[in-house]
Amino acid sequence: MRFKDKIVAITGGSDGIGLATAKAFAAEGASVYITGRSQERLDAAVALIGHGAVAVQGDAARPGDLDRLYTQIQCDHGRLDVVFANAGISELEPRPLGTITDDGFEQIFGLNVRGVLHTVQKALPLLVDGAAVVINGSVAGSKGFPGQSLYNASKAAVRSFARTWTSELKDRGIRVNMVSPSGTETRPMRAFLEARPGVEDMLKQLVPLGRLGQPDEIARAVLFLASTDSSYVAGVELFVDGGALAV
């Protein structure tokens, strides 16, 4: 019960890593608030999370939707202990240099970078001193996967956020860290792999542990970074990737 009486906000909490993390926080005593674009998925997620979880429909790329989330938390509790800036989007089709458009740039950076910025910035008035912020990154931020320029760069950008915000928020004792998974068994990932025979085997060959990650495995790393178990950990990027980058 590391998070008993703690208030936790998770963007993109209706599916995949966000949902697994929301369930883990709630099981350890937290009051969990999640966002997502689909009300239907949010309703299903709240039922799975239990423990009084609250869903606020919205898109993390839209500042007004984030305002609604934090207004709800302000009204209910008046404070916030943990933010998991999880919402993000990947490039479903390759976009090699020479084919990148302004619309494509806005789609990826609008959510993955500007959305993370607003998620954390708008939370600041609610965050208590000693709070924790965790950003969901990716091994892509440290790699040069072809056709993924925008996604790779967006994850490198939020890695920089974690470093800078650690310096800026240190006087309030707010720790900012980043968890960076490799390929993880989520619904969008499964759909992506099933449409591309052979890609899953290729991904597994890049991972020393020889498999995709599971959302619960990423969730456990997020809870570590958000808890007092990591009280002397700040500004780091924790790779949860089966050894893909280290080996």
> Cα torsion at 236, 237, 238, 240 (round to 10°)?
180
Domain membership of residue 247 (yes or no) is no
Distance from C-alpha of 229 to C-alpha of 159, rounded to nearest angstrom = 22
Which residues, 6 or more positions from 40, have their beta carbon under 8 angstroms from its beta carbon? none
| Confidence (pLDDT) at 33 | 98
Domain membership of residue 69 (yes or no) is yes
Domain membership of residue 152 (yes or no) is yes
| Confidence (pLDDT) at 113 | 98
| Confidence (pLDDT) at 91 | 82
pLDDT at residue 92 above 80? Answer: no
Domain membership of residue 2 (yes or no) is no
pLDDT per residue over 28-77, tens digit each?
999 999 999 999 999 999 999 999 999 999 999 999 999 999 999 999 99
Q: CATH number, domain at 81?
A: 3.40.50.720
Domain membership of residue 42 (yes or no) is yes
**Number of domains present in the structure of the chain:** 1
**151 flagged as catalytic:** yes
pLDDT band per the 50, 70, 90 thresholds, residue 196: confident
Residues of the domain holding 179: 7-240
Given 33, 70, 151, 232, the catalytic residue? 151
